[in-house]
């Protein structure tokens, strides 16, 4: 009987150890639930912050444009904010400090919305000066600063709770492992079954700890992505609101200057050509600025084609050498068997050129620029650490310089719009922002690797396209100014009179016969009266019948009619998910006489 006592004691110790493990496991689950609860509260705080930012962006868009469509984010904030605040109230009911902060937050958010509503009401009452006075008073900024301060304080409180709860969870995990270790020793003495049971328990607990670590890493990544998306949305709303009218004005300026330059006889005062060229350059830089803002916010219309990136890079080699100068050595390393990609060739070239110019500026005393292509597979683990990245196969374009490199702080802000480390006059701070927006809009990914004093590598990841590559080489040579013929009749439809006159004069100057109309109904009447029309050149955004509806009705009358669309900015008529619809011929405003000539000839000859 005495010989059984050690076994009985061992069995009782095993039972006690098992009970302790079960209890500790329950505490582990409780600790995990508290961590998730903290993450939920922080997510609510982020949502409230985004709603207030969106409301303020909508109010500014409305004050700038006077269009009520910009008030949608403001109204959305008014509708959703009470629900989010109530949800936050429920989630923090167990924390008196957070409840006190929440009460202040409610008052501050109401004050901010009241300030926004006051300026909006002034504009509605026809008193824009009063609205501007409200904005200039600085009250709105003080309210927003107070809101951010309260939200940051509540987030800091949650971070503190998260740290304590994670420490408690780690302590529980340690205690569980210790209990299981003792259990494992006892199980070895008593039975093989207990050993296996304990081992399985260790694996489960380790998996729980890993999930906690992954959730914390995912939270940090998600917060960074949310901030970047908020910037993109704010810039996109503002730029989209002015892009159409601004590009229309630029179209008039650039087109008129092009026409003026073609009409110079050579007997003008000295410097006339230089002044015109300078004006054109300035207008084109303004157009580029708008294009880069739209690209950053992923609202730039793209015309993707299946391309061979090796062929594209090889075709740009001479351009790189001319742009970068003699003191920078350019080397290309093209991988064999490179996967094809589907992207807008012009925007890929623009992205590479932007990165090359940045690399040149980082090497003022000369250096080496390496452009390399290759294939890569991004796995699930990489995708989890980088939001908006889909695991799969990618073709990679890498640009490496031997310049000054970037610090961690600079890299963290490299994609922010208008952020630049260059001196005044050397850059707009939109180059990398444009590349970032283009890659995201193309379902791709961009990654920067850099060390101060060791140079920088920027990698552009484009999803692999499965299928044939386009037969025509990228960037194939075309006539600089292909002419038209008098028997080629074009119908120009444009509601803006100055833009219409400029387009008509330009096409006539190229040799075409041109008929014009100011709206869709008038255009259809011209179609009926002139059966010889071969091409419809129409604006998209027009009052009444838009360009897409006009083209569909016109092609119902004349199935063989060719259509070329143009606009300063559109999101829905012919552009969906940032891509120009398949088979659509599109010429964005502002356009030069040369690009109008090439595109018109291309559509007529198609």
3-state secondary structure of 371: strand
Q: How confident is the model at residue 122 (pLDDT cuts 50, 70, 90)?
A: confident
Smallest CA-to-CA distance from 202 within 21, 32, 30 is with 21
User: Is the Cβ–Cβ distance between 235 and 417 less than 8 Å?
Assistant: yes
Instruction: Select the highest-mean-pLDDT range: 111-115, 194-198, 257-261, 297-301.
Output: 111-115
Residue pLDDT, tens place only, 259-293: 777 777 667 776 777 778 788 777 776 666 666 55
Specify the pLDDT at position 535.
94
Specify the pLDDT at position 84.
86
Residue pLDDT, tens place only, 75-104: 888 888 888 888 888 888 888 888 888 888
User: Is the Cβ–Cβ distance between 28 and 172 less than 8 Å?
Assistant: yes
Instruction: Give bridge partners of residue 566 from the DSSP assignment.
Output: 539, 587
In angstroms, the CA 602 to CA 585 distance is 9
Specify the pLDDT at position 468.
63
In angstroms, the CA 111 to CA 196 distance is 62
User: Residue 390: CB partners within 8 Å, gap ≥ 6?
Assistant: 378, 383, 443, 463
pLDDT at residue 593 tops 80 = yes
3-state secondary structure of 519: coil
Specify the pLDDT at position 564.
92
Mean pLDDT across the stretch 245-270?
74
- What does the buried/exposed string (b/e) look like for 80-108 if buried means 16 or more CB atoms within 10 Å of the residue's CB? ebeebbeebbebbeebeebeebbeebbeb
Tokens 């989209």 belong to 240
Mean pLDDT across the stretch 502-506?
89
Q: How confident is the model at residue 479 (pLDDT cuts 50, 70, 90)?
A: very low
Asked which of 154-158, 189-193, 489-493 is least confident by mean pLDDT, the reply is: 189-193
Percent of the chain with pLDDT over 70: 78
| CB atoms inside a 10 Å sphere around CB 15 | 12
Q: Is 467 left (phi over 0), alpha (psi -120 to 50) or beta?
A: left
In angstroms, the CA 184 to CA 282 distance is 77
In angstroms, the CA 124 to CA 128 distance is 8
Specify the pLDDT at position 58.
85
For 414, counting Cβ atoms within 10 Å of its Cβ (0-12 exposed, 13-18 middle, 19+ buried), the class is buried
Q: Decide which of 462 and 38 is more confident.
A: 462
Sign of CA dihedral 28, 34, 35, 36: positive
Mean pLDDT across the stretch 182-201?
66
For the chain, give the mean pLDDT: 79
Residue pLDDT, tens place only, 544-585: 888 888 988 998 888 999 999 887 765 554 554 444 556 678
Structure tokens at 443: 């379902």
- What does the buried/exposed string (b/e) look like for 329-340 if buried means 16 or more CB atoms within 10 Å of the residue's CB? ebeeeeeeebbb
Q: How confident is the model at residue 141 (pLDDT cuts 50, 70, 90)?
A: confident
Q: Decide which of 415 and 321 is more confident.
A: 321
Mean pLDDT across the stretch 56-64?
82
Specify the pLDDT at position 477.
40
465-468: long-range contacts, CB 8 A cutoff, minimum separation 24: 465/306, 465/339, 465/340, 465/341, 465/342, 467/306, 467/340, 468/306, 468/340
Instruction: Select the highest-mean-pLDDT range: 216-225, 271-280, 296-305, 427-436.
Output: 271-280
Smallest CA-to-CA distance from 446 within 454, 474, 456 is with 456
Mean pLDDT across the stretch 371-398?
87
């Amino acid at each position: 009987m005495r010989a059984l006592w050690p076994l009985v004691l061992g069995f009782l110790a095993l039972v006690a150890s098992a009970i302790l493990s079960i209890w500790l496991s329950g505490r582990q689950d409780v600790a995990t639930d508290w961590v998730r609860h903290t993450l939920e509260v922080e997510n609510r705080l982020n949502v409230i912050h985004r709603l207030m930012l969106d409301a303020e962006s909508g109010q500014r868009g409305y004050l700038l444009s006077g269009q009520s469509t910009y008030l949608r984010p403001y109204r959305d904030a008014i509708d959703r904010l009470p629900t989010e605040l109530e949800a936050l109230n429920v989630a923090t009911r167990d924390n008196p400090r957070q409840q006190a902060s929440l009460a202040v937050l409610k008052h501050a958010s109401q004050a901010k919305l009241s300030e926004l509503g006051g300026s909006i009401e002034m504009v509605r009452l026809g008193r824009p000066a009063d609205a501007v006075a409200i904005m200039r008073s600085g009250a709105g900024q003080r309210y927003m600063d107070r809101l951010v301060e309260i939200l940051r304080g509540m987030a800091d409180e949650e971070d503190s709770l998260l740290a304590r709860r994670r420490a408690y969870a780690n302590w529980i995990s340690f205690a569980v492992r210790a209990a299981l270790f003792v259990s494992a020793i006892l199980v070895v003495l008593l039975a093989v079954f207990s050993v296996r049971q304990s081992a399985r328990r260790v694996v489960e607990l380790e998996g729980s700890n890993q999930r906690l670590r992954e959730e914390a890493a995912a939270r940090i990544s998600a917060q960074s992505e949310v901030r970047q998306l908020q910037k993109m949305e704010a810039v996109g709303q503002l730029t989209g609101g002015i892009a159409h009218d601004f590009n229309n004005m630029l179209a008039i300026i650039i087109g008129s200057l092009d026409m003026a330059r073609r009409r110079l006889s050579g007997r003008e005062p000295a410097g006339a050509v230089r002044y015109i060229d300078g004006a054109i350059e300035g207008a084109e830089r303004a157009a580029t600025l708008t294009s880069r803002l739209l690209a950053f916010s992923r609202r730039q219309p793209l015309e993707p084609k299946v391309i061979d990136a090796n062929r594209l890079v090889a075709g740009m080699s001479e351009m790189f050498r001319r742009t970068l100068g003699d003191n920078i050595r350019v080397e290309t390393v093209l991988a064999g068997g490179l996967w094809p990609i589907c992207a807008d060739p012009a925007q890929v070239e623009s992205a590479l050129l932007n990165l090359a110019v940045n690399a040149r500026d980082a090497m003022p005393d000369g250096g080496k620029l390496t452009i390399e292509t290759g294939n890569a597979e991004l796995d699930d683990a990489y995708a989890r650490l980088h939001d908006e990245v889909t695991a799969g196969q990618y073709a990679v374009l890498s640009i490496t310089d031997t310049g000054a490199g970037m610090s961690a702080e600079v890299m963290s802000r490299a994609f922010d719009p208008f952020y630049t480390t260059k001196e005044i006059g050397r850059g707009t701070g939109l180059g990398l922002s444009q590349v970032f927006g283009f890659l995201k809009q193309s379902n791709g990914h961009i990654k920067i690797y850099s060390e101060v004093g060791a140079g920088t590598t920027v990698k552009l990841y484009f999803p692999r396209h499965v299928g044939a590559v386009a037969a025509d080489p990228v960037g194939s040579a075309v006539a600089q100014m292909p002419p038209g013929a008098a028997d080629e009749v074009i119908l120009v439809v444009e509601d803006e009179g100055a833009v219409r006159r400029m387009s008509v004069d330009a096409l006539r100057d190229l040799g075409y016969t041109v008929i014009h109309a100011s709206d869709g109904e008038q255009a259809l009447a011209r179609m009926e009266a002139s059966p010889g029309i071969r091409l419809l050149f129409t604006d998209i955004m027009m009052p009444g019948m838009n360009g897409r509806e006009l083209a569909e009705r016109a092609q119902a009358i004349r199935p063989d009619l060719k259509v070329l669309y143009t606009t300063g900015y559109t999101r829905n008529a012919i552009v969906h998910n940032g891509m120009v619809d398949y088979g659509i011929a599109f010429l964005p405003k502002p356009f030069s006489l040369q690009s109008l000539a090439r595109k018109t000839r291309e559509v007529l000859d198609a």
